[in-house]
Structure 1
Amino acid sequence: MEQISSKYAVELLLEDANRIKLLIRNQHNSLCISQCKAFEEVVDTQMYGFSRQVLYAEKIGVLKRGEGQKMLSALEADLNQLYTDLYENRSQDSLESSWEA
């Protein structure tokens, strides 16, 4: 069996985290993000899968204990910021639309 380096495993996990962020970032319709339960389910499922990958990586010793939690916390913070940015843009667009009317 071939050895997997911790660095490579972390790179793979970070790629997955970036894929989840990209999923949200590419969702240009902020109304869908705020009101679409299916989209929320997709993000929740992706986050759950990612958390399981991180836990597994910690269990087999590829990640140091606590390192995985830091990755999850960073991803959650990034996602919260993305959501905040989308809502602020939506609010700004709504405000501008009301001024134009």
Structure 2
Amino acid sequence: MLELSKESVLSALKHEADKIKHLLTNQRNHQCIAQCKAFEEVVDTQMFGFSKQVEFAQSIGLIDRQEGLDMVIELEKELNRVYNTVYQEVKESES
């Protein structure tokens, strides 16, 4: 049977969060965020999936509630930073 440690779960969740951040960074370079509503749906789906993974890890006692909350909040803050940067760049280019 697979033995899971708190460290391995946190590492796996961090890896998932990094994949979402990478997706955001790649699309930001192509200005897709500002022009593509489907991209927002993809990000929303990824965020939802990540939050469910965090909830599962919490429910089986591998991480505590605050750790999970911190991970989701950190990812949401990164998402907001990227969106704000892109929309600011679009606004400036339209001026």
Residue in structure 1 matched with residue 4 of structure 2 by the alignment: 4
Q: CA deviation at 1:85?
A: 1.6
Residue in structure 1 matched with residue 45 of structure 2 by the alignment: 45
Residue in structure 2 matched with residue 83 of structure 1 by the alignment: 83
SS of alignment partner, residue 2 of structure 2: coil
Correspondences of 1:1-101 after superposition (within 5 Å): 1-27=1-27, 28-30=29-31, 32-95=32-95
Q: Distance in 2 between matches of 1:72 and 1:5?
A: 20
SS of alignment partner, residue 50 of structure 1: helix
Aligned residues: 94
Deviations 1:3-60 (A, max 9, x none): 2111111011011101101111111232x31231211111011001000000000001
Unpaired segments ≥5 residues, structure 1: 96-101
Q: Distance in 2 between matches of 1:25 and 1:15?
A: 15
Q: Please report the RMSD computed on the Cα atoms of aligned residues, expressed in angstroms.
A: 1.4
Unpaired segments ≥5 residues, structure 2: none
Q: Distance in 2 between matches of 1:37 and 1:91?
A: 17
Q: Distance in 2 between matches of 1:39 and 1:82?
A: 13
Higher Cα radius of gyration = 1
**Which is bigger in relative contact order (C-alpha 8 A, separation at least 6)?**
2
TM-score normalised by structure 1 residue count: 0.83
